[in-house]
Amino acid sequence: MAVASSIPAGTDAVDASPSAVLANEDGGLVLRLAGDWVLAHGAPGLAPVRTRLAAASGVSRLRFDAALLGAWDSVLPSYLVHVRELAGAHGIAIDHGDLPEGAVRLVSLAVAVPAHRENRAGAGPSAVERLGVTVIGALAAAADITSFVGETATAIGRLLRGRALMRGRDFWLAVQQAGASALPIIGVISFLVGMIQAFVGGSQLALFGAQIFVANLVAIAMLREMGPLMAALIMAGRTGSAYAAELGTMQVNEEVDALRGLGISPVEFLVLPRLLALASMMPLLAIYANLFGVLGGAVVGVSILGISPVTYSEQSLQFLRPQDMLVGLAKAGVFGILVGAAGCLRGIRSGKNAASVGASTTSAVVSGIVVVIVADFMINVVCFALGV
């Protein structure tokens, strides 16, 4: 039984006005489209289709027949999306049949990104529902992180046994990107941070006539705290985001799925070289940041505070301890692992559209900064408890 106006019998020419005829077919339904589906003519109403689908029983498939379809524009994809939603609500699969390829692509793009719905006042979920959704999301995120940590640990174990599918050239390329390429920005930022520390500390110590101790302040602060921390924060915004964008793009292009199809672990092939490269480069970057930070403090101490270069250097070396350097290097290694893991996790778990890649990149930077700050606080608490 037709639910929309059909083509009159005995008519040779197809009517220009659009029509949609829903009829029975072996094992399902067929929706025959005819006429010109353009803005000038509009589209047929969806009420007959909605009624017929609601009354259909035992129907598992809906096929589109576009043999009599004429010209079309955005009206056709919009109509198809609505029909697809109605069929999906009743568990009916869609067969695009002989629809134009362009219309099918537009429909695929439309259903790939969820429609934005405004949360009207009084129509949103209750506080209990929001709390439940938040808890479920947190548990899912914790399970995802645990799974990623387990996969990474397994990959490292296979690497130690010489069985990991990791290419050496990928590791050295990641070392170059996370090491030498990052030196300019880390040097500039660390130099400025050292100058700021010396200027602020010196202006306060000068009130007590103790501006000479600004050399101690800058040297110890840079080696134990600011050098590793600034290097880690810079790498979180620079390299962690790059990891997330690279792996997220591979997800969109289905390269990660192709690796799994070939029996290759994406964690071993993609994550492991990036993670190891950043973890191994961070201590060296921290030393580089320490050098420029102390140099920046010396510039302020000598040029503004009037401390001689020899006195400044002797004062810095006299009060430095080996554990100050070791604590800073240990922090840098931990920060490198955390930043690399955050970037790779967000990238490898990215969705398969452009919006997901952008969200993953942003999340990688935010996650990297947060975990670095938290880890820095915890390491400082442990060092204080141990008297290091």
Closest by CA to 36, choosing from 17, 52, 20, is: 17
Tell whether 144 is covered by a domain. Answer: no
Show the domain range for 39.
Answer: 19-112
- Whole-model pTM: value is 0.65
8 A C-beta contact, residue 1 and residue 33: no
Closest by CA to 232, choosing from 97, 328, 151, is: 328
Say yes or no: 183 and 237 in one domain: yes
8 A C-beta contact, residue 350 and residue 360: yes
Share of the chain above pLDDT 70, in %: 93
Share of the chain above pLDDT 90, in %: 25
Range in 77-81, 144-148, 203-207 the model is least confident about: 203-207
Say yes or no: 259 and 353 in one domain: yes
* Structure-token pair, residue 320: 């430095």
Q: Which of 11-20, 113-122, 178-187 is predicted most confidently? A: 178-187
Indicate the residue among 62, 97, 112 that finishes a domain.
112
- Identify residue 254 by its one-letter amino acid code: E
pLDDT digits (tens, 9 = 90+) for 31-69: 888 888 888 888 888 888 888 887 777 777 888 888 888
For position 289, what pLDDT does the model report? Answer: 94
8 A C-beta contact, residue 278 and residue 340: yes
Tell whether 26 is covered by a domain. Answer: yes
User: In this model, does residue 11 exceed pLDDT 70?
Assistant: no
Closest by CA to 288, choosing from 187, 188, 198, 192, is: 187
Say yes or no: 322 and 179 in one domain: yes
Range in 16-20, 132-136, 253-257 the model is least confident about: 16-20
110 band by pLDDT with thresholds 50, 70 and 90: confident
* Structure-token pair, residue 353: 């559209």
CATH of residue 69's domain is 3.30.750.24
Say yes or no: 340 and 226 in one domain: yes
Tell whether 138 is covered by a domain. Answer: no
User: In this model, does residue 140 exceed pLDDT 90?
Assistant: no
Tell whether 235 is covered by a domain. Answer: yes
Residue count (the chain): 388
Tell whether 118 is covered by a domain. Answer: no
Say yes or no: 221 and 276 in one domain: yes
Cα distance between residue 284 and residue 182, in whole Å: 11
pLDDT digits (tens, 9 = 90+) for 217-273: 899 899 988 999 999 999 999 899 999 999 999 888 888 888 888 888 888 888 999
**Cβ-Cβ contacts under 8 Å for 302 (sequence gap 6 or more):** 308, 309, 312
